[in-house]
Structure 1
């Protein structure tokens, strides 16, 4: 064993910013120094990184390395939009959107109950996260209390899988948040909220998607004044949920082929125009897509398990669709003026 410790002086030139103090290291290169640091911290439960900004140290990121803590986060963050914890190396950066959105679930997992008491890693994780997430969690709590939100905080109220209220053709509808995205440019900034809603393509039910844009605004705005907002902010959320469920049952009953009397408004799909209608109509989504030579929407399966379609299932689906097309070719005459590009 050598009796000598070699130290190397690293000089900060300040070319990329304010000069920093010179420092001594056991390693002649930065790469070797960094590798030694990573090896020394490889078994630490959490690695918390800081940067010096505005005359104080602020969190730049943290990496969770404890297997027990990772298990808790994996459960709490399961299914979160575009989040692969392994790919991210279990590293989180401000404003910690996934953890803020799943904070209540994570806290419930960590606090335990009579059947499953809390563990030391769970307690340590919560003690670490509370002060770091306090600004975001408090901001969300204040938004829920006041009903007002700032543009930069909009992500807080649009957690993936959150039920939200929007409108289609001036009719209120409840959808589910799939994801959110902030687009920033020199001219303006805006949030794009991608939503999922239940639809029928004449063959099966599934989720279709749509997008709602929220343009930049200054100061605060009432949450319910936005073009899309969480159902929980609705003045009568329970009543709204009940009405939407009842309407959904009607929609469910109209799948397939039906003759109905219709009195209301029809929407021209080729151009944004509504016209009154009063008379007999045929409701048949399959025939609509078939006769207008429109590829029917490929809806997202209701059950994630259904996403993996076997080859046998594909053949069966193809045979069913061919049988349906043959049926409609035999039973419908295009001269009846039934087929059109309008919806009621």
Structure 2
């Protein structure tokens, strides 16, 4: 698909400067660089600013909030000639916040910090992702995925001993057994399955009423992406899929997936739902999906704005999948 990388988090040609990650002295010098900028994450939320919360905050290296962040700054790359570092505000908790609102399907709350301006807040990335520039979105998604990996992999998977951060944050090493561990990305297939003028949409338990999306699932070991498409659709909806074609991909840092988008032709149409996988699956016509996109369908709501599912459905509606 010609404009595949226009999907949210699709990339902004960030210079990740991987050759500098192993240069300890160079990284130390970059951390002192007065032209360097720093972005901060708290509870998975990037620090943003603006009336629409549409701009990632870039702090100077001497901002006081950085002293409260995790000691291991993550080197994200070079931007406008200067380094960009990511930080995890790990132990801070706003006074009076009970935390219950942070775990909902959509977290619309914002939190601040005493060292920040009143217009600078931590906001849920899924809520603001379509407002950010391509560069801000890439940086925020990269930092979120990296922080999640470090949070979950503090101990060696080989021997159980504590591991240490290296390579500017892009590696964890175990001194006990000398193992090295690197950030992982889980491949996921998400598929636009069509039959004539209709597309197959499903919903998971707990989703908001009326919300449907494209079927998706994790790729299994020893499996091609195309085989994963056919298997997942058969398992979840009992639909046999024939021809499969790749369309686009999207990094999805919730917590660490790469969504690989495909189109597939259904060879059968009778749905045999697996209730352990889906709450419902329905064939919707092109006209019904078009109404949902403009808020005129009586029951169907569109996929989450900014997600690759919505991106692919939009391209299908406008005949721009090629």
Q: TM-score, normalising length from structure 1? A: 0.23
Q: Using CA pairs below 8 Å that are at least 6 residues apart, which structure has the higher relative contact order?
A: 2
Q: TM-score, normalising length from structure 2? A: 0.24
Q: Look at both structures and tell me which one has the larger radius of gyration over its CA atoms.
A: 1
Identify the structure with the greater helix proportion.
1
